[in-house]
Amino acid sequence: MKEEIENALRMIWMLNEDGKDVEERQIEEKVLKEMIDSDLVLLSQGKVNLTERGKKEAEKIVRLHRLAERLLTDILGIREGVEEHACRFEHVIDDEAEEAICTLLGHPEICPHGRKIPPGSCCLKNEREVERVIFRLSELSPGDEAEIKYIVADEEESKILLSAGIIPGVKIKVLRVYPAFVIQIDNTQFAIDKRLADCINVIKKV
Amino acid sequence: MEINEKILSERLGIPVVKTVAIERKGILELKEAIKQALSREFHPVMKIKFSRAIEKQISEIESLIEKDYRMNRRAIAILLLLGDYDILELLKREKNFSKIKEKVSIARFSVLPYEVLREIHENAERLLDGVVVYRETKHGLLKKISDLSLNPYFSLPLAFASLAFVYFFAGFLGAQILVDVIETAFEENINAPLNKVLAIYVPNYWIRELIGGEYGIVTLGLRYAVAIILPIVTTFFIAFSLLEDSGMLPRISYLLDTLFKKIGLSGRAAIPLLLGTGCGTMAVVVTRILESRRERIIATLLLAVGIPCSAQLGVMIGIAPDIKALLIWIFIVSLVLIATGTAASKILPGESPIFFMELPPLRVPSVKNVIYKTLSRLEWYVKEVMPIFVMISVLIWIGRITMVFDLLIAALAVPAKAIGLPAEAGKILLYGFFRRDYGAAGLYDLAEAGVMSYNQIIVAMVTLTLFVPCVAQFSVMCKERGLKTSVMIFLLSILIAFTTGYITYNLLKVVG
């Protein structure tokens, strides 16, 4: 598939995600025609709607884009120009690489901007064949040391974690996991429940 | 840890004073420095520097803000990028308010709040480089206990021991010994002479009753506040402050979190609920430490329904005919509390609470701190609760003049009879709302007179505990939770009290 078509699919899907309709005029004529011809979209009353096939394709592209964002920020530690990199990345990852990346990241559900990553078949199987690098804090055991890589949290949870300085890049030590989680950061100990421990994704120190 | 304040002062461009707040070290020097600083002008040299991307966002937001605030615009912009949306409220009157809002929400896509925070941390580290020297601390006995205290097998007994200590201190020393001494002195030296003087100089019965008599402002209001509640809450506050200062409270919260989640609360709620066994009124105020409104309502509900305050606890223990009766009472009240919490957490909308708490290291409580904390709590008590007791006397006075009380007592006698209590229990319940120990003391008289059987005493103990909170607690509830919620909780506790009383009565009849 051509890049222009992939980009158009992604745009339509993301606008739909926000509950917005897509007008005919928002898409280049040539691209639109090609999309209709390959049964990716349907036109009705000036609005562009994804077909079942189109939806599937679009979902895959969005998924790749957001996985790429995760990979670039969490693992490779790239801070600037993530968006452009991800845009190029999404067109070159093949199915096998996609599953490997997804498993490596621990089947993340949300991109760094807080948007949902559409699940792939590997997530549904919850595969753990590729050795996992990213763990949730809630999966660690007492004595484990780790570095926080990313946090997936709602506004309330983020506020608490942020105000305590529990943010990516911080090194933690797990002291206890029952009856609640106790972690140590520098000389300070925090008790947190499973809900918060689930939000924190880390790389274990070996 | 060692701090070189000279370098820090140079880097910041402002005076730096070393203090240790809990030991009150350097406080005087700090005051002096502030006094001097007021007459001088400073040019802070240190500025937090961010990366290009963040600086760009900051200046863009900054340029949209037009008015002047106590904080500078740059600081406001940084807070907005950190995701502090409360600060948006402050900007409501800005001409560009909608633009600012939009800008902030878009900014989140290029600069995540934590990235801003991380850069602030990096700035701080740069600033402190060479200023702070850490030294390995000795791993003393306290450190070992501190680590051990995270283990439930060790900390549960430790928690129980601390609670036992609180009860020995407040329940025994305060509620029994001190109350006895002070109340007798009050009755002998104030009530008796006052009533004599009133009998001679005030011919009008109702005016005499307003000040003296059985329910007067001095003879009931002040006596209750000064001679009964004050010694109990003072000892309780001392014990509670010791617990707080030692670092035990957060550990108790941590231990109880899993259990509390089942009743819609987080472990944090252990603090107000525990405080509630001292004074429910203060505990309602302390529910403020809970994160969500939902949690605050559940905690207020439990405090109102069945957490007995120290005044109530003392008398209940006093009137229980034997240990078995006391255990039945504890069992039923706990069961009702658990059921109420479980039901409330199912019915009230909202997400389950989040538990988050810093665990400070355990330490030997400092005497100064304990005194300071106790005094500030007592100050609150004297200012907020004492006047309510005076008001209660006036209310009782009005109620008696207008005969409203007789009506209410007659009305309460109906459900009281239904749960197998003598008709006099109606009066006990009504006065129990105004002064919790009176209800229980009335119960004691009834039991002594042989009017009530063993089973009836248990039923009365349960009902009186679950019955409405005292008037002081109710008025604070209205202030903290609003009138509507408080009235609902009030009515609910009447319903729960009588329903439980009825079930207890019938169960005991069957069991024998």
The answer to whether the Cβ–Cβ distance between A193 and B358 falls below 8 Å is no
- Tell whether A29 is within 8 A of chain B (Cβ): no
Residue type, B339: A
Percent of chain B with pLDDT over 70: 96
ipTM, 2 dp: 0.77
Q: Which of B77, B95, B96 is nearest to B87 (CA)?
A: B77
> What are B469's two structure tokens?
């909170």
Q: Which of A153, A154, A137 is nearest to A145 (CA)?
A: A137
Q: Which of B225, B440, B426, B224 is nearest to B314 (CA)?
A: B440
The answer to whether the Cβ–Cβ distance between A196 and B359 falls below 8 Å is no
Mean pLDDT of B102-110: 77
Residue type, B5: E
Q: What number of other Cβ atoms are within 10 A of residue A27's Cβ?
A: 19
Say if residues A9 and A93 touch (Cβ distance below 8 Å).
no
Task: Report d(CA A82, CA A84) in Å as an integer.
Answer: 6
Mean pLDDT of A157-178: 90
Task: Report d(CA A138, CA A193) in Å as an integer.
Answer: 9
| Chain A stretch 62-81, residues whose beta carbon is closer than 8 A to a beta carbon of chain B | 79-80
Residues of A in contact with B115 (CB under 8 A): 79
The answer to whether the Cβ–Cβ distance between A164 and B257 falls below 8 Å is no
A129 pLDDT above the threshold of 60 = no
What confidence tens digit (pLDDT) does each residue in A29-47 have? Answer: 888 888 888 888 988 888 8
Q: What is the pLDDT of residue A69?
A: 86
Residues of B in contact with A169 (CB under 8 A): 118
Of A167, A188, A192, the CB nearest to B114: A167
Q: What is the pLDDT of residue B454?
A: 87
- Tell whether B352 is within 8 A of chain A (Cβ): yes
Q: How far is B251 from chain A (nearest CA, A)?
A: 9
Q: What is the pLDDT of residue B147?
A: 82
Mean pLDDT of B183-191: 90
Which of B461 and B449 is assigned the larger pLDDT?
A: B461
Q: Long-range contacts of range B377-380, CB-CB < 8 Å, 24 or more positions apart?
A: B377/B233, B377/B237, B377/B241, B377/B282, B378/B233, B378/B234, B378/B237, B380/B282, B380/B285
Determine which of B254, B289, B294 to mutate to test the interface with A (most A C-beta atoms within 10 Å). B254
DSSP state of B137: P
Q: In terms of DSSP H, where are the helices of A18-74? A: 29-37, 52-70
Residues of B in contact with A191 (CB under 8 A): 250, 253-254, 257, 267, 355-359
What confidence tens digit (pLDDT) does each residue in A80-101 have? Answer: 777 778 887 777 777 777 887 8
Residues of A in contact with B254 (CB under 8 A): 179-180, 182, 191
Q: What is the pLDDT of residue A93?
A: 79
Taking phi first (over 0 means left), then psi (-120 to 50 degrees means alpha), and beta for anything else, what does residue B29 get?
alpha
A130 pLDDT above the threshold of 60 = no
Q: What is the pLDDT of residue B512?
A: 64
Bridge partners of A42, per DSSP, are: A49
Say if residues B467 and B497 touch (Cβ distance below 8 Å).
yes
* Residue B114 pLDDT class (50, 70, 90 cuts): confident
- Tell whether B257 is within 8 A of chain A (Cβ): yes
* Residue B500 pLDDT class (50, 70, 90 cuts): very high
Bridge partners of B356, per DSSP, are: A192
Say if residues B198 and B211 touch (Cβ distance below 8 Å).
yes
Which range in B35-44, B103-112, B267-276 is most confidently predicted, on average pLDDT? B267-276
Virtual torsion, Cα B45, B50, B54, B55, nearest 10 deg: 40
What confidence tens digit (pLDDT) does each residue in A50-76 have? Answer: 999 999 888 888 888 888 888 888 777
Q: What is the pLDDT of residue B435?
A: 63
- Tell whether A164 is within 8 A of chain B (Cβ): yes
**What are the two backbone dihedrals, phi and then psi, of residue B132, each rounded to the nearest 5 degrees?**
-105, 130
pTM value > 0.80: no
Determine which of A167, A188, A199 to mutate to test the interface with B (most B C-beta atoms within 10 Å). A167
Q: Give the Å distances, CA to CA, from B375 to B238, B283, B384, B393.
A: 9, 17, 14, 26
Q: What is the pLDDT of residue A127?
A: 57
* Residue B390 pLDDT class (50, 70, 90 cuts): confident
- Tell whether A162 is within 8 A of chain B (Cβ): yes
B138 pLDDT above the threshold of 70 = no
Determine which of B355, B362, B363 to mutate to test the interface with A (most A C-beta atoms within 10 Å). B355
Q: How many angstroms from the chain centroid is the CA of residue B137?
A: 35
The answer to whether the Cβ–Cβ distance between B83 and A188 falls below 8 Å is no
Of B53, B151, B257, the CB nearest to A80: B53
Q: What number of other Cβ atoms are within 10 A of residue B134's Cβ?
A: 9
Determine which of B50, B112, B121, B290 to mutate to test the interface with A (most A C-beta atoms within 10 Å). B112
Q: What is the pLDDT of residue B493?
A: 94
Integer distance in angstroms from the first to the last C-alpha of chain A? 42
Mean pLDDT of B365-389: 86
Q: How far is B137 from chain A (nearest CA, A)?
A: 11
Q: What is the pLDDT of residue B441?
A: 63
Of A179, A182, A195, the CB nearest to B359: A182
Q: What is the pLDDT of residue A88?
A: 78
What confidence tens digit (pLDDT) does each residue in B319-357 have? Answer: 788 889 999 999 999 999 999 999 999 999 888 899 999
- Tell whether B255 is within 8 A of chain A (Cβ): yes
Of A156, A165, A179, the CB nearest to B257: A179
Task: Report d(CA B322, CA B327) in Å as an integer.
Answer: 9
Q: What is the pLDDT of residue A128?
A: 59
A7: burial class by Cβ within 10 Å (0-12, 13-18, 19+)?
Answer: middle
- Tell whether A195 is within 8 A of chain B (Cβ): yes
* Residue B15 pLDDT class (50, 70, 90 cuts): confident
B431 pLDDT above the threshold of 70 = yes
The answer to whether the Cβ–Cβ distance between B354 and A156 falls below 8 Å is yes
Q: What is the pLDDT of residue A174?
A: 95
The answer to whether the Cβ–Cβ distance between A176 and B151 falls below 8 Å is yes
Q: What is the pLDDT of residue B115?
A: 83
What confidence tens digit (pLDDT) does each residue in B260-308 have? Answer: 999 999 999 998 998 888 888 888 988 988 988 999 999 999 999 989 8
Which of A176 and A130 is assigned the larger pLDDT?
A: A176
Range with lowest mean pLDDT among A24-28, A172-176, B494-498? A24-28
Q: What is the pLDDT of residue B5?
A: 85
Of B51, B109, B254, the CB nearest to A180: B254
Mean pLDDT of B178-202: 90
Nearest CA in chain A to B156: A179
Nearest CA in chain B to A156: B354
Task: Report d(CA B295, CA B293) in Å as an integer.
Answer: 5
The answer to whether the Cβ–Cβ distance between B354 and A193 falls below 8 Å is yes
